[in-house]
Amino acid sequence: MKQETLDRIRKFSEDRDWDQFHSPANLAKSISIEANELLECFQWSDTKYDINDVKDELADVIVYCVDMLQKLDLDADEIVNSKMDKNEAKYPVDKAKGLSLKYNQL
């Protein structure tokens, strides 16, 4: 994500003095709530959805994730790549390709 966007997200909360409400627990709750609002876009159909609603809800999830990263002083690239290392080890291509099984069922 561009630094300008990250700064804009940080400034939005700072200007409103909302950091006081952004505990890791509150941010985790907010991420979950917004993820469920994203899911609601697909509640009655996997194919008939409003892309603008999807974009808005996905943006809300991302903003709260950025808030969490900033609150915990985490680097998105670092934690995503660390998790991808684990995922690649748990789901080797030769065992997982084309399958939706959990790693312990491969």
The full DSSP string for 1-53 is: --HHHHHHHHHHHHHTT-GGG--HHHHHHHHHHHHHHHHHTTSS-SS---HHH
Residues 58 and 83 in one domain: no
Same domain, yes or no: 24 and 52: yes
For residue 17, what pLDDT is reported? 98
Integer Cα distance of 43 and 96 in angstroms: 29
* Shared-domain flag, residues 68 and 80: no
CATH number of the domain encompassing residue 53: 1.10.287.1080
Same domain, 22 and 47: yes
Shared-domain flag, residues 58 and 85: no
Mutual angle of helices 24-40 and 51-71, in 10-degree steps: 170
pLDDT at 103 over 90: no
> Which pLDDT value is given to residue 51?
98
- Amino acid identity, position 28: A
Nearest of 30, 31, 50 to residue 40 by alpha carbon: 50
- 36 and 83 together in one domain: no
Q: Are the beta carbons of 70 and 10 closer than 8 angstroms?
A: yes
List, for residues 28-63, the tens digit of each pLDDT value: 999 999 999 999 999 999 999 999 999 999 999 999
Number of domains in the chain: 2
Average pLDDT over residues 86-96: 95
Structural domain range at position 17: 1-74
Same-domain check for residues 33 and 68: yes
Task: Kindly state whether residues 58 and 91 are assigned to the same domain.
Answer: no
Residue 46 shares a structural domain with residue 86 = no
Same domain, 6 and 36: yes
pLDDT confidence tier of residue 6, bands split at 50, 70 and 90: very high
